[in-house]
Structures are given as structure tokens and as C-alpha cells.
Structure 1
């Protein structure tokens, strides 16, 4: 590796090293390597050279240093590129020891999670072997030293993980010296002391192991005033009792050993996503027998099973997969997963495999904030979660082999059922999938299916008509179901009339036919379509313009341009005829084939002008409804001006905050689909404003991964129409999503884009809000003084704009940073002033921020009753707003105050509540867990 930072900073050539004598060049190179292949703003490089108070010539100095480095690094294969107000060091990841270390550590941890402990140890040893000393040895400066401290902590943690695995695999005597060195270097880390005790015990040195416990206990009591934690105490007791469980164990047994008891954290239920059993399922005996035989053989061999069911549209692939899955569901106790991949959706793209992977990870409780970047890494994480589990997966409506590969489990024990209109020969060839080609139902099974749906008596009374119906339905279960609904819905119609309509129907569904005319289902759809009333038929056509996956009555009313009271009976008529499905109360879906038919009817009967008008009403409905719902969640946001809504648009009634949460929860997938197609439909203004309106909901729910996607789409839409205000808002909202996920550099870059746009617009309020965001980023990067400067600049900008509520918010932020810097009296004065202004404005959300800041200042001044009351005020407003992220932070601080006041039990209860929220949001729970453990009664 040519670029080495895990020890002294070095750039290696084939012969010798690149000289890096000047400390400024070292600091700049270190900052570029930390964010290699990403743009590092000039401001960060200035910060790397000067901890604070840079000279006026700082930017020029940075440019000169970069110029010097650019020539020196070229020989080592590194290129420094000027880009977007900063510099990027372009170098392959494999040439940087830091990147190689992170990659091998990830691989080792994945293998450990999958129970492959020996392989995990190999990767972890390789990762640790890259270190030549403390990171960035000899490079000074606060920014680099902070990064080095984090890297050194990662090294130490990984070393402890590797030692833990080696102890699990039976290590002992050969590890004693190494662990003893770790203990000597950092004597207050309990985990290392426990490892030393176990290694000594394994080496036959029981008395020394017991002595090691008493040594660490004296240290903890003397230095920190606390007793050893539960794990260390239980290990001491086990050594005293010569517990057989301390003997070396094999890797499989080690993987199944229970962890020591810890404070309970919330757990998610085992996923059970299978759809309901298909109604009136008939036949398929040969296919079911084949699947059962394959599963039994795979179970006996200890392998997984993948079956690929293919056939024409409407042939019953999904019904077979779900029916078989429900037959064998008891054999897969670790969960059942289902996804509709929408591979042949007539009006929209297939479901992205990345979205499907993220849905499965969410089902297993993996928070969005902890998802790795990129489909390959997320797919690997899914395989890791499935390893060693017995899980059943139904991957429905796949486009091709590539569509499902990221979703396949990697190890034995799982059953995967895939359905597709294509023969997935790629999976058969490379993954060993078992192909099952599903033909239309034979006449006998088709007749029995129809009899189960309409009653045997009606078929017996008119056998010739029944034969005609089953023949014209081409053995397709979907077609049979539609005809059956017509028969049941018209009990006085003779079967021969319906059979005659089927015989006389002409045409076919292009793109949805089989190899011969008998698989044409247009005649079946046309028969049901003609039986509808005129208004219901028109609504059916218009539903094809909606992006899905489902819609409610008010959205359908806007599509049709009629009041909701008129559209609800039409939806009921369509549901009765099985032209739509009410899959949950008040929400309707349309099957792919029926939607295709609706598209054809809309093209013929509505015309281009009619379709454009419907599309405009649809975008107006969702933008108006989302804007209203957002104002219920966050009434004090800076306003935007919506386009005037077209005639006939109905906005959803969102009366209060609870209704807003419910509306966004239902419409979230629809809004994402609208954003994706906005460019093609020419509704870019609607798109960026929809993204703006979704921000509060996504942020407060912790959907920060989706928030980043939504805001990128909004930014692209604002770019297309040249709307600089929309661009600035999207940049700010992207930064919030990045900040929540710990991507501080990316957050800062987007904020500076927003600053430049707001300055060009002369928007002082926008600049001020962005300064507050920059302060938050600086705080998270451990720079409270810089954060304070941003907040004070925001105070001035808000004041110049006459924006009193914004000025109050900036005063609170400045007060908070004063408290972080130790000036709690000044913090109290500023936050009290901020609170008065916020109370005048009636802004409860920002009052919560300020009450929290006041609580912090009172706590540090030893005024615990006042601090407690402030925190409780903050909590009431956080809960009112549904703000879970900040609620957990306030609870953590409230627990600290109770502990300082001597209320140990209450502190634990409060921390437990914070712990539950953190686990739910996928945030780091270790700090709160450590607080809880520190109060454990031994």
C-alpha cells in the first residue's frame, strides 16, 4: 500500500518514500486521506492547519501546499483534483492502509456474525497487522489528532474482538502475554481484564485469574468509584466455581452460546410477511409434489433450496408460491419474507432490488441509519442476517435473474420461491435454482376452480356454457376469478349470456399474451369492463395513471375530478367486480394485467389532453395534501408558494397532528413513486415541493435513508427548472439526512451549497437557518467554538431580516454552545431570552430545544430541581411533536440529573426509556447502556 496512515504518515514509492517534511503538508495530506476520493472543502483544510484563528492568507497557503503535494504524489499514483470549492485525492482504496483495514475488519465481523469464527479471526488478524504504531504518528493539529484518536479506539476494539473470538475457539495460554500488554496500556477497560482472567484460567493459572479480578476491582473502586460490571463479576464467580462452561468450545457451539445477561432492549417480532392463503386454490398437484420433494431432499442434505416458478401472466404463479409457502411455514420458524418486485408493472419501473433488500433488513430490525452504502454491501448484510437461520422467502414478480440475485440467501437452511413471467435460466445455471414451468390449468381443474367460486349447481345446470367459460378463460386463474365475480354479482343472468359475450369478444392484451390465442385475456377483461356503469368504467381507466402501489378514495376523487362522496360508490362497484382490490380498509390496488387493460382503455377513450389533465390533478392533490399534513406537524416552517390547484382537485382532510402522521404513513410509498416520475411528467415544481413537504415526517420518524433519496430527487427537479430557492432547500434537507446518519462531511458540503444559493437570492433567513445547521455539524465534529460562531452569525442575520422567532432559535443555539464551553450563567441568560421570544410566537417545537438547553445549564450549576423541571417541559413538547431523536437525548440528560441528585433508581428508569428509543432509531446505545451498568447493584 502506497499511502499509510496506521502509524507514521508515509507515501511509498517503488524506491523509497515521498518526503513530507513540512507539517502543513502533512496535515493537508492527512485530511485528504481521511476523505479520500471525496471532495474536501478548503475550509476543512484550513481547519486542519490552524486549529483556530486562521490568518487572512489561509486559503492562499492551502493552495500553495496543495500545489506542492500534487507534484509529489503523482509518482505514487495519487491525483489531487480541484472540485466544488475544495480538493479530492483520487487514489484506489486498495492503496490506502486505512481503507484496507476497514474492509478486512468488515469481512471478519460478517464471518463472525455468520458463525465462521476461524475465518473471521484470519481477517481480523490481517486487518490488525497493517498497524505500525498509533495512527498519524507525528502529525499534529486538533482535527487530525481527533481522527487519530478515533482510529486508535477502533484498533483497540477490533483487537479485543479478535481476542474474544480466539478465546471462544479455545485459545488461552498463548494469548496471556498479548492481553496482559493491553491491560497494562489501558487498565480501566473491563473487557480486556475479563479476557485476561479467562486466558489465565485456561492456562491453568486459576489463582492468578482470581488475583486479576481483585486487581481490577481495586482500580475501578479507587479511580472511578464503581464496582466491576455484571459480566466481570459473573466471570469471577464462574472461575471460583470452576464452571465447565469456561472450558474451550468448538466454533459452532460458541456461535450458539447465550450472551451474558444485559439490560433488555426492544426486539422486533419474527417477520411473518406471507400474504393470505389464495382463495379457491385448485389443482397444481404435480407442482406441489415436486416442491415438497425438492424441499425434503434439501433438508436431508443440509442445503438451501431455490425454486423458480415461471409462466404466462395470470397463470397462478403467485397463488402456487403462497399456497406452498403456507403448507410448509412451520418448517421456517425464523421468519417468512415476501416482496412484490413489480417486474412487469405496466406503468412504472420494476421495484429496485435495493429497495427490496432494505425492506427485508427493516423486517429484521436493521435501522435505516445503520445501513451500509451501496446495494452490494446491503445485500451482503442480508446474507449475513440469514446465515444460520431457517427463513422462507417469496420473491414475487421478478423481471429477470439480475432482479433477484441481491435478495438470495447465501447459506443453507432457507427456502426461496421466485415467480416470474420469464424463465430464469441464469439462476438455474449459476445458482442451481430448480425451474418449475407453470402451464394453464387443465380443463378439469379450471372447471373445479370455477365451481368453488360460483357454486357447482350453476355449472351443472348449464354444462355447455360452463365449458365455454372455462375454455375462453384459457385456464388462467385470474381470468376465471374475474368471470366468476361477474357470475356471482349477477345471480339472475344465465351462464349462456356470459359465455356468449366471451365468445363474441375480439382483440388481445399485447405484451400479456401467451404463445397462442387461448391465453388472451382481453376478452375476459372487456366483458367485466362493459358490465360496469359509465362513471365506474371511467374511474377504472383513470386509475391506470396513478403510480401506485395503492390509493385512497380522496386521491381517486381528484383523478376523476369529482367529490369523494361520488367516487366511493364507484370504488365499491369496482371492488365488487374484482377490477380493484381493497387490500386494507379504504386503500385500493389494481392487478398488473387489469392495469394494463386500463391503460389501453385510457389511451383510446381519454386522449392525450385528458390524460395530462388527470396527471395534473393527481400531482396537485398529493402536493396540497402533503403540504397541509406537513403544516400540522411543523406549523412554523418558512412558507412556500404552491402552484394553483386545477379544478376538481380535493385535498385530503388533515385536521390535526395524529391525522398528519397517519396520512404520511399511508401515502409515503405513493409520494416516492410520484417523485420518481415527476421529470417525465413535467411536474418538477411539484416534485421539489413534495420533497420539501416530506422532510418533517421523514426526519422525525428516523427515515433518514429515504430522506436522502427524496431530497436528491427534489434537488434534481429544482435543478431542471432552475429554481434556486428549491435547490437551496433541498441541499439543506439532504444535509440533515446526512447529519443524522453521521455523514458530517457530506452534510457540511451540502450546507455550503445552500449558503451560496441563499446569498445569491439575498435571502438572509435562509442563510441564517443554514448557519444554524452548520453549527450543529460543527458541534457533532467536536468544534463547539466554531459552532458558537455560526450561531452568533445566525443571530445577526435573523436580526437584520426582522425575523424574531428565528433570532430566538439562534439565541438558544448560542446559549447551548456557551454551556458546552463551560459558561453556564451566560447560557441561562441567552436561553431565557430565547424562550420568551419563542413563547410569543407559540413555537412549541423550538421551545423544546430551549427548555432542553436550560436544563443542561441548570444541571451544570448544581440546580437539579430546576434542571429536572426544564427537561420535563422539553419532553412534553418533544412528544407532542413526535420528535423521537431529541426525546432520547433529553431523557439521557434527565437521567444524569436524577443520578447527580442521588435518585439512582429514577435515573435508571429514565435511561431505560432513552435506551428503547435509541434502539428503535438505530442510534448508538452504548453510552446509555454504560450509564445503566454503572448503577447496577452487585
Structure 2
């Protein structure tokens, strides 16, 4: 259930698609004051001062009454008095319906109307900068003739269409208007665009739009998405074993948050991250300190940057800038990076895994074999990538049941090196993970996978692998860092089912 509010026009609220009655004007004024300070605690005295210009003693009782009615109408806000004050955290949308805070009176709301109006104009001009639509820019300039930024953007757009004379004419119009109305000359932005057009060296701003397409069948991860969105802007790291859907999650978050970052979205999968960031904003073949040059180019901008499959901290160090967001994906949690909010993901929840399996396969065929479907999902530890592969395989085999696939998978685990192509596709995340393991780490996993237990401690691991008891903990911790085993309490580890399947069929010959 979604609750959202608008302050543009009358104060309004919706629960999903149904509008909510917010009561009389003063009650809506109390709610508006809270929403205008979204996430900030307001004392009762502050609220009264915002809603009433000249409050009487009865304002205290009136505030209590309005708060009671707001809580009753909007229980999702959890609007309870804490430390003598109130805080709301809500989704506020701009539905462009009219004058902000329409119908609300008082000096506080008058000032907020001006602020919200300016915010709306800036948001509109951010959109116009992205689109550079001549007709829309002409309408905006006509409505706000003294604003220089949209006039400069219109000159850009006209020049891009080969209408140089019209672009220069707009500069002279602006100059005459500013002189007549305000007695001033055009500002530096307009003068710069004018000079560049005269010289013929006007370069249009580059706005990168590099996010991969969002997956239409993306499923689950609601808690993780909420935590990441709450941490932006800033640096967020998504960590988990291969096949857990780190890139898909980062991409989903990018699409959900991109409107908050009007200067563009950049997607990087490279060892030379700084170089790729600079290329995204038009800097080719940079030299010297690339990280410093990037910070200079990004200063004052708001970019959303997804850096996929980060292998080491050095490649992303010192790339963060105020106002921009970094979303990192990495198998290892890079704890040496300061100020990162890390979010660890593994398999989907049982419900999300079933829902995703239904999207990539066939819900009717799943419902016909619910127990087999559950066994199959558990065999791959409910990881999204293997679920997608086995769902596609079953979809292509119209006469197969899930039980048949389980039977084939059981045979495949006994074939040793002769892993069929279909099985290898399912196991691809672990095949890739194995390449990064040392011989000792691989040996420990193979020994663990062949034991009839899911959990071992350090002493059992040393005994089964023949490793030195003093060194085995470092090996186990290294495997836990890449999520091939799960740390429980100190000194005890669990082996995921999917990892057991893969390393249980490995043989020494395969690792040579």
C-alpha cells in the first residue's frame, strides 16, 4: 500500500489511487507544516508558530485535536509525540496542479510558497536542460522572460538546430529586457553562450544516460531497495555471491532514483573506473591524476554512478563527490573504503523465489508440482541467476515436469567432469567464483561439500582438509568473504546447498 502527498496546489494525499479527505483548512495546514519539514522533528511550539501567525492559548488544544484527526486519517505516518515533538517521513510528489499550498494562509506558508515555486521552476529547467526542446523552451522563456538560465538553454537548442541568427537575437532581446527592467547587463552564462556562438565553438553539454535496462521481471528485495534509497546520495555497496543479482539490484535502484540526479547516470564495469567516468562526461584520453580531474568535473553536479563488479578498493577510492551517488557491486565487502553503507544479499525469500520462478517459467506448471518446485528452488539456494536459467530450460521443454529436471540434475551431479551444457549454465556463478579461489580454498570447499553436514567448526575443517589448525580460520574467513560459506557464530560456518552441489562434483583432475 502506497501513501503519497502533494503540496503543489491544495494539500492532498492518496492511498494507492484513492484520495484521502484531509479535513478542514487548519488541519491541512498542520499536516503541510510537517510535510514541509519531511524527516525533521518539530516541537509543538514550532508547529504552532508555523500554522498560527498570532496564536492564542487555545492553539495548543487545537493542535492536539488536529494531530489526533491526522493520525486517524493517516495511520501509516506513525505520527506519535516523541520528546515533545513530531516527525513525519513521507513521499511527496509534484503533480503540477497549481499554486503551492493553495488555500493556506500565514507568513510561514507565504514564504514556503516562494520556496516551492522556485523549486518547481528549477526542476522544470533541469528537465528542459535534459531535453533541449525548442518549443518547450520558448514557452518557458515567454512565461519567465527575466530568467537567464532557460534563455541560455534556448540559445543552445537553437544553435543545435542550425538557427544561429535566432539564437543571437535571443541574447539581444534578453540584454534589452534586463537593461529596461532591472538596469543590469546579462550574466556570465548568457554572455558565455553568446561569445561561443559568435566564435562557432559552442559545445553542447553531455548528459550521460548509461544505465542498463531495468529487468521487467525483477522480484523481491524490497527491504534492501528501501535501505539503499534511504542512503542516497552517498556511497552504497551491494555485496553477495555471484548469481545473487547484485547488478540487477543496482540497476533497479538506479532507475528508481535517477530523477534525483538530473546530471545523468553513469554505468561502469572497468578496472580504470576514473577513466570511464571522465569519458562519460566528454573527457577523452585524460592524463595525470584522473580521480582529481573527475572530482573537478563532477563538482556541483548530481550524478548517479553504478560501478559494477568492483575488484579492489583502489579503483574506486576518492571518486565520491558531494551531491552525487555511488552504487558499488562487489563480491567482497571492501571494508577499507570509508563511508560506505554495505547491503549484503543472498538468495531470495521463499515467497519472492516462487514469484520469480513463476515469471520466468509457468505458474500453472509450478502449481501442479509445488513440492518439487520448492525442492528445486532450495537446490539453487533461491539465487536469481540459476532460477532464471532453469526456468528458461523448463519453458523450452514443454513436455518436461519439474520432477524430470530434478532427476536430470541428480544424474548430472554424479557425472564428475562431464557436466552437460545446461547444467553448466545453471552453475555458471560458481564456475566463475571458482576461478578466483586458491588451491587451498578450493580443497577446503570440496572436502566440506562431501561431508554429510551443513555446518562445521574450525577444528572439524582442519581435520577434514588436513590443513594446519592455526591457518584454517583464515581460509574459512576468505571463503566467507566471497559468500561461498556463511559465517554463523565465531568459528562455525554453514555451506549453502547450491555451493554443495557444485563443489561436491568437483574432482582433483578438474582443478589442475
Greater Rg, structure 1 or structure 2?
1
Structure with the greater relative contact order (CA < 8 A, sep ≥ 6): 1 or 2?
Answer: 2
Q: TM-score range by the shorter chain?
A: 0.3 to 0.5
Larger relative helix fraction: 1
Larger relative strand fraction: 2
TM-score (normalizing by structure 1): 0.26
